[in-house]
Amino acid sequence: MTMIDPRLTALEKRWAAFADKVRGRVREIAGEADAAYREVIATDVVDGTALSGVSSAIKARLIALRQKIDESWRTIDTEYDKLDGVDARTLGRFRAKEIASSRRLGREVERATEDIVVRGEAAAARALHALAEQERAVPVNCPHCGAPVARPPESWSHAVNVACASCRAIVTMMPGTAAMMFVRGSGAISLAREAAHAAWHALQDAEDAWRRLRKKTLDDLARFEAAHRAYWQAYTDAMARVMPSWTAQHSADEIRGKMSWFYDTTGKDDRTVRENYGAGVAAVASGDPARVQQWLSVQRDRAGAAEDLLDAVVERGWSDHARWLAQVAGLSREAVDDTFYYFETRGD
């Protein structure tokens, strides 16, 4: 069993202690944020300025904490440069593991920021919606004959002219202030963001996975696209539940508009290259040496293609496949070890 240099262990413990303090501070800020949001809701939920002020203050505090993570990591990282007598690759792997840990902590704080703000603004939106419902329940009488006039559903969100059933006079019905703030402000959007929040996190994870891949395939692209579509579908489904005027066509148009940039950029980029890598990865996954040899035989640079395919296999975590591929493609053990080391020390 290989002994870990105690200096490395000490640095690891130092970073872990700092990470625990950061998480504790995030919990404190979350509690303070919940109290601040409750105060705004109880005081005047219609005042969007007060709500925005709370969200901005919370974001600023957590952004500062996120910056503190980077500063603290740089301080600890300089300690690695001072270590001597440690095997270079052992040090490289250990340092990369800690870099990845610092990045995960940063993402953790970023997500906590989103969670706190989304939760607080959604709570305010529910309170605003309740006020809007109270406004809609107020009876409307014809100003000409005094007869009650039924309020159509669409008057909840915008002005509507209605003919009095008794005297046929035109009655203009206006939405209340809370309803206007909910529909035309951020109320409905806040509830939709809350409902789609899990899908948003899944999209962030998919984006991270997509960014890390050097050898992308069309299957990777399909998974990334599916994560985008799942988020916007969850978002538009939520909007349809809270917006009286939101139709299936609204949802379809919203999804098409939000996805258009993806199809015009990422969806079009390097499709031939991705299709080629996909065929190579599928050949390795099949475990059939003949399929791998056939794929290599049609590549312009067989040696370079074999190394690229090894990259694609290793970055997917297929360790056994990687060693098998090296034997099939005639790659040296040194090339395999170097590839593993590269991906282990990228720090992401």
What does the domain layout of the chain look like in residue ranges? 1-134, 139-175, 271-344
pLDDT value, residue 136:
86
Burial class (CB in 10 A: 0-12, 13-18, 19+), 95: buried
SS3 state of residue 55? helix
Work out the average pLDDT over 73-88.
88
What pLDDT, in 10s, does the model give residues 187-225? 999 999 999 999 999 999 999 999 999 999 999 999 999
Model-wide pTM > 0.85: yes
Contact 331, 303 (CB under 8 A): no
Position of tokens 């009876």?
139
Work out the average pLDDT over 285-313.
96
What pLDDT, in 10s, does the model give residues 178-189? 988 898 878 999
pLDDT value, residue 312:
97
Class for the domain spanning 1-134:
mainly alpha
333 has pLDDT over 60 = yes
Q: Hey, what are 29's tokens?
A: 């800020």
Kindly report which listed range (123-137, 143-157, 196-210) carries the lowest average pLDDT score. Answer: 143-157
295 CB-near residues (< 8 Å, 6+ apart): 279, 280, 283, 305, 309
pLDDT value, residue 1:
46
pLDDT value, residue 244:
74
Residue % of the chain over a pLDDT of 70: 99
126 has pLDDT over 90 = yes
CA-based radius of gyration for the chain: 29
Sign of the dihedral through C-alpha 282, 284, 286, 291: positive
Query: What's the rounded Cα separation, in Å, for the pair 193 and 99?
Result: 31
pLDDT value, residue 221:
97
pLDDT band at 348 (very low <50, low <70, confident <90, very high): low
305 has pLDDT over 90 = yes
From the list 212, 249, 229, 185, the residue with the least C-alpha distance to 52 is: 185
